[in-house]
Amino acid sequence: MILYERPNGLRLFFALRGSILPRIAPSLLTCTLLAVVVTLSHGVLFQWKITLTPVPFSLIGLALAIFLGFRNSTAYDRYWEARGLWGQMVESSRTLARQWLSLVRPLEDSVPGRQRHGDFVRRCIAHAHLVRHQLRGSAPGAELARLIGPEEAAAAQRLRLPSEALLRRNAELLGEALAQGRVAPALAAEIDRSLAALTHAHAGCERLRGTPIPFAYMLLLHRTAYLYCFLLPFGLIDQLGFMTPFVVAIVAYTFFGLDALGDEIEQPFGLSAHHLPLDALCRIIEIDLLEALGEPAPAPLQAVDGCLH
Amino acid sequence: MILYERPNGLRLFFALRGSILPRIAPSLLTCTLLAVVVTLSHGVLFQWKITLTPVPFSLIGLALAIFLGFRNSTAYDRYWEARGLWGQMVESSRTLARQWLSLVRPLEDSVPGRQRHGDFVRRCIAHAHLVRHQLRGSAPGAELARLIGPEEAAAAQRLRLPSEALLRRNAELLGEALAQGRVAPALAAEIDRSLAALTHAHAGCERLRGTPIPFAYMLLLHRTAYLYCFLLPFGLIDQLGFMTPFVVAIVAYTFFGLDALGDEIEQPFGLSAHHLPLDALCRIIEIDLLEALGEPAPAPLQAVDGCLH
Amino acid sequence: MILYERPNGLRLFFALRGSILPRIAPSLLTCTLLAVVVTLSHGVLFQWKITLTPVPFSLIGLALAIFLGFRNSTAYDRYWEARGLWGQMVESSRTLARQWLSLVRPLEDSVPGRQRHGDFVRRCIAHAHLVRHQLRGSAPGAELARLIGPEEAAAAQRLRLPSEALLRRNAELLGEALAQGRVAPALAAEIDRSLAALTHAHAGCERLRGTPIPFAYMLLLHRTAYLYCFLLPFGLIDQLGFMTPFVVAIVAYTFFGLDALGDEIEQPFGLSAHHLPLDALCRIIEIDLLEALGEPAPAPLQAVDGCLH
Amino acid sequence: MILYERPNGLRLFFALRGSILPRIAPSLLTCTLLAVVVTLSHGVLFQWKITLTPVPFSLIGLALAIFLGFRNSTAYDRYWEARGLWGQMVESSRTLARQWLSLVRPLEDSVPGRQRHGDFVRRCIAHAHLVRHQLRGSAPGAELARLIGPEEAAAAQRLRLPSEALLRRNAELLGEALAQGRVAPALAAEIDRSLAALTHAHAGCERLRGTPIPFAYMLLLHRTAYLYCFLLPFGLIDQLGFMTPFVVAIVAYTFFGLDALGDEIEQPFGLSAHHLPLDALCRIIEIDLLEALGEPAPAPLQAVDGCLH
Amino acid sequence: MILYERPNGLRLFFALRGSILPRIAPSLLTCTLLAVVVTLSHGVLFQWKITLTPVPFSLIGLALAIFLGFRNSTAYDRYWEARGLWGQMVESSRTLARQWLSLVRPLEDSVPGRQRHGDFVRRCIAHAHLVRHQLRGSAPGAELARLIGPEEAAAAQRLRLPSEALLRRNAELLGEALAQGRVAPALAAEIDRSLAALTHAHAGCERLRGTPIPFAYMLLLHRTAYLYCFLLPFGLIDQLGFMTPFVVAIVAYTFFGLDALGDEIEQPFGLSAHHLPLDALCRIIEIDLLEALGEPAPAPLQAVDGCLH
């Protein structure tokens, strides 16, 4: 996620950092070059004058506006839903820690007993890290073994869904506390609901990751946008003359840019500059839960070069 | 559901796989042919010059934009709601398994006792399969008898709503566990709520399946779109000349395509390439719940030819 | 609710069944006749040439697009919300039956005792029928007395809100079961919540029925749409000549049709072909609950002439 | 809230009742008069010909469409949210009455004991009346003392938030019933949740009342709409001639009307004809809760002159 | 938040208070000056006639409308979501106070005992203040020590998330009350849920604060809007002549204004005139909770110069 301020004045037009421009440069260049060729040949292609006027573009523009508006809002809604689900990860982890520490009595009321009691909370931190790695397709590092011990870490990673195994282990701890009368059933039910909220947040992220916007939409949209931009110079040349390539470049920049940006943020779990800062969110969960345990916590992650991962 | 990458460059325009083109080919061809005829006759029909200009098309375009935008977002919302309901199937099945295994004591604490205890979880897998079959109007195969035994499978299938019978059977198991003190009431309430969440997800899918977008909307939309596209050549011929059929084909492709795509995804429970991969989702539920039971699980379903069913 | 397939080819344009055309025929005819008169008089009214061009129509079209888009989505949202609330009726009735039968012990564990225990469930069926009748302003028939007995049926119907009396009676049964220790409090709370969900669904339907879209919106929208369509021939005649009435008829058909359709579905509880099939939904509740009781159930209602009421 | 039917035919154009016309008459007249002046002077102002064409109006129209569409949907969403919150008042009051009467045993099982037990329910009626008065800034009348006695009524009204004091008093009654074992804790928790739902509905209404749409939006929108309409005659005069004032009046009517209507319904708690019928809703709560108590209930409020307050 | 009435008549155009005008003045002036230069030179730049017509602006306008509409609704949705989360702070604080005071018995039933019992409620007030300060990046003042004592205040402020420490402390009080049998488990679960609602509201605000609308959107939008407005005079000069700078100024005012307003309200936790009145909301929480305690409460904050902070 990019966090720096919007550049002012002329620098606005030359900022590349955080721009979608590099990604769409090839299409944009091809399109503009075509417009230059059309301008130089005055719209005559192989001795045929292409008889286009601006009219068809406003007709096709109708469908294109619907496509791009839909594309835009759908992609952003997915981005924001993903952010909301991670917000729920943060919130439910905090709530779970608070509930476990204040409403469940430790098995032994001693320093090592309370330490062991905190394993539940540390497993919540590990859960967030595991969900992050599953969403990014990366392998968890040493933090997992540090938080839940090497054995449980290894066992969990043999499964398709390691994070869920951690929740099951915490649910077993809850079941034991319940059987031993260390927590009242009504409050165990609350804690169980917080565990379910973590399952919910994770399943929601998986859903976003596994279900792209239907392919045929994208195909329809891309075809329309490309046809529109590549035909545009023929429609403008008679009116605009030498300004044609310039106008085509602006129009293509907005249409291709909007589309490429949608591609970026509709799957917001990656490591691109436009994706969600899952590392930083996991660190926040780690800090908050360690603070709840009264243990020393690391510092929040800082943006590097204006970008938080 | 189609999972392959968007084709690049020229291949974008010739990809048929996953395109809506085959479905709309007849209308599109008719429309383009008419445009060719109009172009050759210069807009004169039976010696009458049809005096249309682009103006009426921007007026009708107003209503058409509202229809198509509405169509588009409604169809996608239904698609996404359906996906969300299946997301809830996945999530609530996982939660239910976790709750049952960690919060309810088996009747007998022996290997066969724990095995029988797991029947509850296997019935959740069978429930997902049954919901899938009910939504697709297909008959469940051997997996049902394998999971819940041939007798219960046969009894359930005699009912209008077999999946609900499985939930009732699980609720009876819960009632027995409660009567025998093997689960605290407050936690039994939580488990009951997870059962209700499965009923909710199923009823939501049924609702989507049984309630199409009002028929009169579709009629109004189709009539307007067809009239628009079939009259369009008369309005463009005087300005665009021999480019008319080309422009008409593009406009008709976007309008018919958008409409046909809506038809496909507004009922997303079928077996078309654009529908939801219910087979794959049921397999995921099966894997996750078998992992929770500690039993060997099959591999996730893989996309065949870029398509997951 | 209309359930038949969309007609193909030319039949698309001549289908009257399920079309909104009959309802808007008078306005549409008036408007088209005026366009014919204007065409014959070349836009001269009482020797005054009405100097309109297409320009004002694109300006007014701006406001009209906002109105019609808003109208459209609001009406459909109401329709879909109403359907969702009835989905909740179906779902909560099923859940309630499952909860009552599996989590509450009958007063007497005998055949007549279990039969009496089922009264709770039969009252849920009666509740759905009563809500349907209240929403449609019709009087419940013999089904009520059959389900809950003639005395209770008569007593309930003397009240303003008979359906709520049934829920109160069920809540009393729940209170008795609780007092007699036949259900644990935590589970009684769950059952109470399902009763509250029925109250919620009913109150939501009442809200939709009692609160139309603000009248002044409708007035503004109708006035704008009528002025637009009645003035349109004067703006088109100079460009389109004898095609004017044809174009005016298409434009008026889409605008009036969209508006009339909104009128139909914004109050979806009636008996028109576009309304929700409450009879069929009540039958589904009846079947599912009788299946839960293990009693013989009637067949689902079938569409008559493509239409389900 | 206006409840009468839409007028038909010509009466549609002359209906003033329920129209937004009286409110926007001054601006509309000024604007039309200016258009008449411009028409008579052929767009020459102090001997300068104002060189406007329709083009700028379609450019500014772009922003105006965004503003008005946003204005429209935001105002209606607020209206509908307010209605939904009052729907929750109705629903939660009913649920609360049902819960209290069926799940909590009276302190004394005698006629006066049951009478006193019903005070809880009567206080719920009083709560609805108080919320209505707080939202409308009016003083509660005799109904408050009649429902909860003069002392409690006087004490509550000394506070900033009298309605909340009633909920606290009911919560105390619940606490007493709980301490005396007249209600099981799990069901007391349900009842407490219904009290919280009333707090939620009230806080939501307060939020709508206290937080208008940001002022700068309104300023931007009004300035754009006024500039648009006041400049419009200069842009149309060359094309439309003597029809200019007529077109300007229609455009101004739709834009000013849409805006004024938004002003009316974005704060829907007042006593205007377009506001929510809070009196009628409170009466409905009163009837339903008295029916639950088995006491005689007044008749529902009827629309006076087509309008319900 | 600005609370004054909309100015009428001509004052509408000269109101600066609450306008977005001062913020966009530099860009607006630059743009208008350029338009004046273009008008004086008749669109000739360095002896080149810039051959632009209005056509490209309607094409680019398509993308711009999508951007600005999206910008507008996203920014307002964030604003409204933030307001809703603070609404939840108000509501859950009230509910928490009601629950604690009516459902949990004080440790000692004496005046100082009840006084100490109220510490829980005072800590809720302090929580709201702390959340406000965390969102605004300001340091809490003396009110914190006054409410929860200097020691706890100092300890909390050493943490990254001081507000959460207060909720944990309240949860400990709840755990103690539960262990001492002063509250039934089912009701403790309700109170715990209200604590979780406060965590939810706070985490939601943090999420809004920490996750801006993706940077690349803003860049794309700003570039398009600036290019549009700076090129506009070249497209209009041939048609509009000396009116060009005037029209450009209006168009630029609406586009830049809409964009700047979005910037203001998408992060609504600051101290600008368009931001949410967090001070006033915290004061409302303080009043309501002190009223619940039966202690004297301060007066609500009043708008200063029409503005509430």
Map out the domains of chain E as residue ranges: 23-76+214-265, 91-211+278-293
- Report yes or no: C299 at the A interface, CB cutoff 8 Å: no
| pLDDT confidence of residue D58 | 86
pLDDT for residue B10: 67
Decide if pLDDT at D73 tops 80.
Answer: yes
pLDDT digit string (tens) for D187-236? Answer: 999 999 999 999 999 999 999 999 999 988 888 888 899 999 999 999 99
- Residues forming beta bridges with residue E48, ordered by sequence position: E45
Q: What is the pLDDT of residues C130-144, one digit of tens each?
A: 999 999 999 988 889
Helical (H) or strand (E) element with A44? strand A44-45
Residue E31 CA from chain centroid, whole number: 30
Task: Residue E80: name the closest of E276, E301, E258, E303 by CA.
Answer: E276
Q: Which of C51, C192, C209, C227 to mutate to test the interface with D (most CBs of D within 10 A)?
A: C192
Query: What is the structure's pLDDT at E10?
Result: 67
Q: Is the pLDDT of residue A139 over 70?
A: yes
Residue B62 at interface with chain A, using a CB cutoff of 8 Å: no
Using CB atoms, list chains with 3+ pairs below 8 Å to chain B. A, C, D, E
Per CB-CB distance under 8 Å, the chain C contacts of D236 are 55-56
pLDDT for A9 equals: 65
What residue spans of chain D are helical by DSSP H?
11-14, 21-40, 55-103, 111-117, 119-136, 142-148, 150-157, 162-179, 185-210, 215-240, 244-265, 278-293
Higher pLDDT, E18 or B117: B117
Tokens of D174: 């619940």
pLDDT in tens, A67-100: 888 888 999 999 999 999 999 999 999 999 999 9
Residue type, B36: V
Q: Do A243 and E52 touch (CB under 8 A)?
A: yes
Model confidence band, residue D62 (pLDDT cutoffs 50, 70, 90): confident
D213: chain E residues, CB-CB within 8 Å: 76
Match 């008319």 to its residue by tokens. B244
Interface check D197 vs E, CB under 8 A: no
D243 and C171 within 8 Å at the Cβ level: the answer is no
> Which residues from chain A sit within 8 angstroms of residue E192, using beta carbons?
99, 103, 187, 190
pLDDT of residue E6 exceeding 70: no
Average pLDDT over every residue of C31-36: 94
Q: Read off the pLDDT of residues D123-161 as tens digits, 9 standing for 90 and up.
A: 999 999 999 999 999 998 888 999 999 999 999 999 999
Beta strand pairing call for B44-45 and A48-49? unpaired
The whole-number average pLDDT for the span A127-136 is 96
Q: Has residue D57 got a pLDDT over 70?
A: yes
Give Dmax over CA atoms of chain A in angstroms.
Answer: 92
CA-based nearest distance C17→chain A, Å: 29
Write the Ramachandran bin of C20: left for phi over 0, alpha for psi from -120 to 50, otherwise beta. Answer: alpha
pLDDT band for E285, please (50, 70, 90 cuts): very high
Residue A63 above 90 pLDDT?
A: no
Q: Is the pLDDT assigned to residue A292 strictly greater than 90? A: yes
Average pLDDT over chain A, rounded to an integer: 91
In percent, the amount of chain D with pLDDT more than 90 equals 64
Identify the burial level of A296 via C-beta atoms within 10 angstroms of its C-beta, where 0-12 means exposed, 13-18 middle and 19 or more buried: exposed
Contact D164 E291 (CB under 8 A): yes
User: D84, C207: Cβ pair inside 8 Å?
Assistant: yes
Mean pLDDT of E143-147: 91
CB D44 within 8 Å of CB D237: no
pLDDT of residue D146: 93
C45 contacts chain D (CB < 8 A): no
Q: What is the mean pLDDT of residues E261-273?
A: 89
Task: Assess contact for C276 and C269: CB atoms under 8 A.
Answer: yes
Judge whether C10 is closer than 8 Å to chain A, CB to CB.
no
| CB half-sphere exposure, B49, CA atoms < 13 A | 7
pLDDT in tens, D253-263: 999 998 898 88
Average pLDDT (A47-73) is: 85
Give the pLDDT score at D10: 67
Q: Which residue of C has its CA nearest to A189?
A: C186
Average pLDDT over residues D164-170: 96
What value does the mean pLDDT take over residues A135-151?
Answer: 91
Nearest Cβ partner for D60 among E12, E250, E274: E250
C69 in contact with chain E, both atoms CB, cutoff 8 A: no
Greatest Cα pair distance, chain B, in angstroms, is 92
Neighbours of chain C (3+ CB pairs under 8 A): A, B, D, E
Mean pLDDT of D240-249: 92
* Weakest mean pLDDT among B22-31, D261-270, E12-21, E239-248: E12-21
Could you tell me the CA-to-CA distances from B90 to B96, B199, B202, B285, C304 in Å, in that order? Answer: 10, 13, 12, 6, 37
The phi and psi torsions of E44 (rounded to 5 degrees) equal -95, 120
Q: Residue D129 has what pLDDT?
A: 97
Alpha carbon of D171 to those of D145, D167, D174, E110: distances in Å?
A: 20, 6, 5, 21
Q: Is E242 on the interface with D (CB under 8 A)?
A: yes
d(CA E139, CA E142): 10
Residue numbers in B near D186 (CB within 8 A) = 185-186, 189
Residue C21: is its pLDDT beyond 90? no
Residue with tokens 């003033």: D16
pLDDT at E216: 87
pLDDT above 70 coverage of chain B, percent: 96
Contact list in D for residue B189 (CB cut-off 8 A) is 186
Q: Give me the helices (H) in chain E, please.
A: 11-14, 21-40, 55-103, 111-117, 119-136, 142-148, 150-157, 162-179, 185-210, 215-240, 244-265, 278-293
ipTM for this model: 0.95
pLDDT over 90 (residue D35): yes
Averaged over E221-227, what is the pLDDT? 90
What pLDDT, on a 0 to 100 scale, did the predictor assign at position C2?
81
Residues of chain B with pLDDT under 70: 4, 6-10, 16
* pLDDT of A59: 86
Residue A6: per-residue pLDDT: 67
Q: Residues of E numbered 103-162 whose beta carbons fall under 8 angstroms of chain A's beta carbons: which are they?
A: 159-161
| Max avg pLDDT among C165-179, D7-21, D216-230 | C165-179
Per-residue pLDDT tens over the stretch C187-218 = 999 999 999 999 999 999 999 999 999 988 88
Residue E20 contacts D, CB cutoff 8 Å: yes
Q: Is B185 on the interface with E (CB under 8 A)?
A: no
pLDDT at E48 over 90: no
Number of helices and strands in chain E (H, E):
12, 2
> Searching chain D, which residue's CA lies closest to the CA of residue E57?
D59
Separation between Cα atoms, residue C65 and residue C44, nearest integer Å? 29
Interface contact A51-B241, CB threshold 8 A: yes
Please report which confidence band the pLDDT of residue D166 belongs to, taking 50, 70 and 90 as the band edges.
Answer: very high
- Nearest residue on chain B to A175, alpha-carbon basis: B103
At D264, the pLDDT band (50, 70, 90 cuts) reads confident
On whether any CB of chain A is under 8 Å from the CB of D186, the answer is: yes
Q: What is the mean pLDDT of residues D9-14?
A: 70
